[in-house]
Amino acid sequence: MSSNLSLNNCFLISYSNDPHNDNWSLQGYRISLNKQIINHQITISQLFTLNGKGSANVTRKYLNQCIYTIGMGNNDYISNYFVPNYYETSSEYTPEEYAEVLVEQYSRQLQELYESGARKFGIFAAGYSGCCPGIMADYGLNSCVELVNNAVKLFNTLLNTTLNDLNNRFLDAKFILIDARLVYPSDLNVTDKPCCEIALRTTGKGSCVPNQVPCSNRQNYIFWDAFHPTERVNVIDGTKAYETLYPFYTYSEAMLPLTHTKAGYEVSDA
């Protein structure tokens, strides 16, 4: 984390939340959400210094206005639970039990952020990992792997219930679920292969091979590499997330406490 802290924004990026696999995965080093929360506390202490006299109240008011967007879950499935050759997680937990373990820990972490001053939360549902080209290739399919998607759906459903509970408990905060998208414009029609040539080695498996020419029609591809979406898909998803979090952009002091509503998107069982 940079020591040149800006009061405009601060990015804390998390890739994994599995309690048994805090830092490393087959795709390389990961910074866990627990570690990022520690980093966030360091940032808060730096804000105390920047804000000077009366820093505690000023900093808390500032954090109350920040929008915390957090996404977690995908790597815990595609880089852990469904990699039985490297991890024993799937033999230790049923999909239902694993979802419960992840979401219980997630809930504690969100409450830690709340205690530190966070009030506006945008929580991304986990994407349907079974539709990633890397997962389809592992299972020898050219269509989505429903075994994986069903496990992710369990996580998302439980996450939605948990966010509703947090909204009921913390009336001065708002937790909005940003639902996972499965439907894209019809011209995004290359769904089963990545735009770039991918690495097959164990570490970094599924990432783009350096110095190779990618596909010429990337605007038609859902996936850039074996697991990550293209820029166009990210723009579509980002726009949807921005629109979903619209209640935060109309927030004012006169609205305290925040209107008590449930999460913005219900996760369908269909």
Q: In what order do the strands lie in the sheet with 174-178?
A: 67-71, 120-124, 174-178
Taking 3-state DSSP, the helix, strand and coil percentages for the chain, each rounded to the nearest 5, stand at 45, 10, 45
User: In this structure, which amino acid lies at residue 248?
Assistant: F
- State how far the Cα of 195 lies from the Cα of 216, in Å rounded to an integer: 8
Position with higher pLDDT, 213 vs 24: 213
What is the distance between the alpha carbons of residues 260 and 66, in angstroms, rounded to a whole number? 18
Indicate if the pLDDT at residue 209 is higher than 80: yes
Find out whether 232 and 218 touch, Cβ atoms under 8 Å: yes
Mean pLDDT of 37-61: 81
**CA dist., res. 64 & res. 114, Å (int):** 9
Which of these, 92, 125, 111, lies nearest to 18 by C-alpha position?
Answer: 92
Q: pLDDT tens, 53-69? A: 667 788 888 899 999 99
pTM (two decimals): 0.82
Residue 165 sits at φ, ψ, to 5 deg, of -65, -40
Mean pLDDT taken over the chain:
83
DSSP strand E in the chain: where?
24-25, 28-29, 67-71, 120-124, 174-178
The larger pLDDT score, comparing residue 250 to residue 228, is at 228
